[in-house]
Amino acid sequence: MDVRLLLISLLLGLSRAQLDGNECTKASAQSCGECIQAGEKCGWCIDKDFLKQGEQKSTRCDEIEALIKKGCSEASIENPRGTVSVNKNQSLTDRTKDGVKLKPDQITQIQPQKLTLNLRSGEAQTFNLIFKRAEDYPIDLYYLMDLSYSMKDDLENVKNLGTDLMAEMQKITSDFRIGFGSFVEKTVMPYISTTPAKLLNPCTSDQNCTSPFSYKNVLSLTSQGSQFNNLVSKQQISGNLDSPEGGFDAIMQVAVCPNQIGWRNVTRLLVFSTDAGFHFAGDGKLGGIVLPNDGKCHLQDNMYTMSHYYDYPSIAHLVQKLSENNIQTIFAVTEEFQPVYQELKNLIPKSAVGTLSSDSGNVIKLIIDAYNSLSSEIILENSRLPEGVSISYISHCKNGVSDKGENGRKCSNISIGDQVMFEVAITAKGCPSNGKSETIKIKPQGFTEEVEIVLNFICECACHKEGIPNSPVCHFGNGTLECGACRCNEGRIGRVCECSKDEVRTDDLDANCRMDNGTDICNNNGDCVCGACECKKRDNPEERYSGKFCECDNFNCDRSNNKLCGGHGRCECRKCICEANYTGSACDCSLDTSTCLASNKQICNGRGTCECGTCKCTDLKFQGPTCEICPTCPGVCTEHKDCVQCQAFGTGEKKDTCKEQCNKFILVKKKKKEELPQPNDQPYINHCKERDANDCWFFFTYATKNDSTVEVHVAEELECPSGPDIIPIVAGVVAGIVLIGLALLLIWKLLMIIHDRREFAKFEKEKMNARWDAGENPIYKSAVTTVVNPKYEGK
């Protein structure tokens, strides 16, 4: 959506969904079946009178709410919904190892076992699958071993594997079977030496080895561990030239030959033991083998006979066959090849990798650990889905842990007896081309139990079965009247199949689609089909063209506040049809007068008229939304003071003209002001308090009643000020003068004391600072005068 379109949508109040349309109207469905396949929200109106003139047949298809707004009743809307029904729902097996012995087909670990889904296009159907690991569940284990020369020491340890492994597995299940197979390599160059001597003994002359072979089923699955030991102890090592082995050929035959191997519908484990890598699809070209592996069983006398004819299988091919046959693979490989087989494990579901010691001494522990790891994880997988069908999972595992997406398929850390649940949702988009039912299956990887789900597709409405072929309503039988509309026969078109395709573009028919010679065909708002206008659809499904010549629409009416018809009406043929209490070309004029009521409950305070919900004041002194504001007017109390005074007391400025000027209200006298009406008695009332010429206060109330009469209540008792009391005034003045005098004396006395103290302190300070000479009085003069004779020489 560009900026201009977004701005237009904001101005018109339209959402993005409205501008983009919806999947129902975009489908341009011509029948109920096509409509319900367009989306889960789509419905089809079967009301014969639903379409307005000029509207296309596809207008019957829209979202349910939109159809109801257009006038189609809910009872006339075809809207089939999908369903889920359970056909087989056996209870989960709940038993202990020491309990009753059950056959494998009597054990149930997943519930329910069969369902039927009726799918409506776009509508998800959800159901729950419950899985519970049964105790003492049977196990089949097939040990597939590399017998190339490097595995010589490993073979010695495997010879006693049967009884030892049987003893360990008895701790897990009482029903355990074991089998053994071996492989080396394709029996062609350059994988082995084809010289006669090397074909007899591929090892060195001092080593006794058996002839090379691709794959050999040594022992089919058996519950006799001793038999396993006897047959394996007779096996001999063989040899080949290159390092990678032909193990994939062997794995493929083990997977696709269930009868020869003896697989039961129980837990199937394949232990693949090797100390080397593997060949895969394409490597066969080195030996001139170009035919891809066919994924079929080719065992004769327990030997794979087509290794020289078919290439090695690809990893994807192996994954498919292992999954189809519910085989869980355990790769027991040496540490050197751990990284290679770890990558292979990531590609093969329900597989594990264990590190094999150099002599396979730890193989039993490896198998037990790998089995516990595999069996503790439940992963759901489904068969190939039909076209247009999707599936999603939500897991509800132990301890309230939930997940969705790809992780919604699995739960981990599942112990025996634990129960988990998966919420499965299946959605169809449209109907398959053949319209037939489909069957899919869901199962836990590595388990033989599965859930069968039958998918039925809702491709037609219920009213389709009630269609009337060659109905006279459809222009003399040129169509089938179905779901309120005509489904035309081949070669016929039009709302009622009234026209042949050959007649669509004739000039005579086009003339019927013009209002007059000066207008466009269908006013350029539609197409002329069979001499009748079929109006175009708008991007916004709420907007429609209509009319015989598509001259009408429901979106080009007057607007108010950026809303079509002010939001108070509907647009029909470019004119607003207003709701009750609204009028005007844009339905923007309200007839409701409640917005004009003043505080005294009068419309516009009795000083204006209410137009379109707004007051227009006729008295120019008043203004405001209800004509109650008068900036230049005195208050009600001041305005009526003189009239109240002259009527109640015969005084005031208007006492001489009281009858002429003061007859606009009814006067009611009360003795005291307490008897005057209170606000609780009359909500809209003014309480007044005014002063007369004698400075006396008089009290009255002013109220306008609903009939516009004014009522004034006056208290006859006045509140006049009393004369002054001289004695207290004189006594107060004298007392004030005396007190003021005393206060002044006290202040003077206080100042004098402060001054004297300061002078005394100053004197004391000067006295302390004086410096007097005690030996000579500065003002003393001695009475003795000594005169020295200058002539006296001291003789």
> pLDDT (tens digit, 9 = 90+) per residue, 459-472?
999 998 888 888 88
Which of the residue ranges 90-104, 250-264, 272-286 would you say has the lowest mean pLDDT? 90-104
Assign 634 a pLDDT band (cuts: 50, 70, 90).
Answer: low
- Per DSSP (E only), the strands in 405-496 are 410-411, 419-428, 438-444, 451-457, 479-482, 485-488, 492-493
pLDDT tens per residue across span 323-381: 889 899 999 888 888 999 999 999 998 899 988 876 667 888 888 888 888 888 899 99
Q: Cβ contacts of residue 325 below 8 Å, gap of 6+?
A: 255, 256, 258, 263, 268
- Tens of pLDDT, residue by residue over 105-121, are 788 899 999 999 999 99
- Going through 558-650 in order, the beta strands assigned E by DSSP cover 559-560, 563-564, 569-572, 575-578, 582-583, 589-590, 608-611, 614-617
Q: How far apart are the C-alpha atoms of 130 and 215, rounded to whole Å?
A: 40
Query: What's the confidence (pLDDT) of residue 11?
Result: 39
Helices 315-324/338-347 angle, 10° precision: 60
* Listed range (107-121, 380-394, 626-640, 660-674) with the worst mean pLDDT: 626-640
Q: Kindly indicate the confidence band of residue 18, based on its pLDDT and cuts at 50, 70 and 90.
A: very low
In 3-state terms, the chain is what percent helix, strand and coil (to 5)?
30, 25, 45
Task: Determine the angle formed by the axes of helices 225-233 and 161-169, rounding to 10 degrees.
Answer: 160
Mean pLDDT of 236-254: 87
Residue with the bigger pLDDT between 184 and 361: it is: 184
Q: What is the residue-wise DSSP string for 261-316?
A: HT--SSEEEEEEEESS-B--TTGGGGGT--BPP-----EETTEE--TTTBPPPPHH
* Confidence bin at 254 (pLDDT 50/70/90): very high
State yes or no: pLDDT of 10 exceeds 50.
Answer: no
Matching residue, tokens 């400025």: 653
Residue 278 vs residues 184, 312, 327, 419: alpha-carbon distances, Å: 11, 10, 19, 39
| Position 543 confidence tier, pLDDT thresholds 50, 70, 90 | confident
Over residues 21-41, the mean pLDDT reads 86
Q: Is the pLDDT of residue 413 over 80?
A: yes
Q: Where do we find the tokens 């207290």? A: 728
Determine contact, residues 589/612, Cβ cutoff 8 Å. Answer: yes
Q: Using CA atoms, how far apart are residues 160 and 225, in angstroms rounded to an integer? A: 9
Structure confidence at residue 96 as a pLDDT band (50, 70, 90): low
Give the number of other Cβ atoms within 10 Å of residue 385's Cβ: 14
697-704/686-691 β-pairing: antiparallel
Q: Is residue 653 predicted with pLDDT exceeding 80?
A: yes
With a pLDDT cut of 70, the percent of the chain lying above it is 92
pLDDT of amino acid 494: 76
Instruction: Give CA–CA dist 116/387, Å, rounded.
Output: 18
What does the pLDDT average to over 410-415? Answer: 89
| Per-residue pLDDT, 163 | 80
Q: Omega of the bond prior to 634 within 30 degrees of 0, cis? A: no
**What average pLDDT score do residues 545-572 get?**
87
- pLDDT score, position 17: 40
33: phi then psi, degrees, rounded to nearest 5: -60, -45
pLDDT band, very low/low/confident/very high, at 135 (cuts 50, 70, 90): confident
Residue, of 758 and 499, whose pLDDT is higher? 758
Whether 549 has a pLDDT exceeding 80, the answer reads yes
The pLDDT value given to residue 14: 41
Q: What is the percentage of the chain residues whose pLDDT exceeds 90?
A: 28
Beta bridge partners of 453: 115, 440
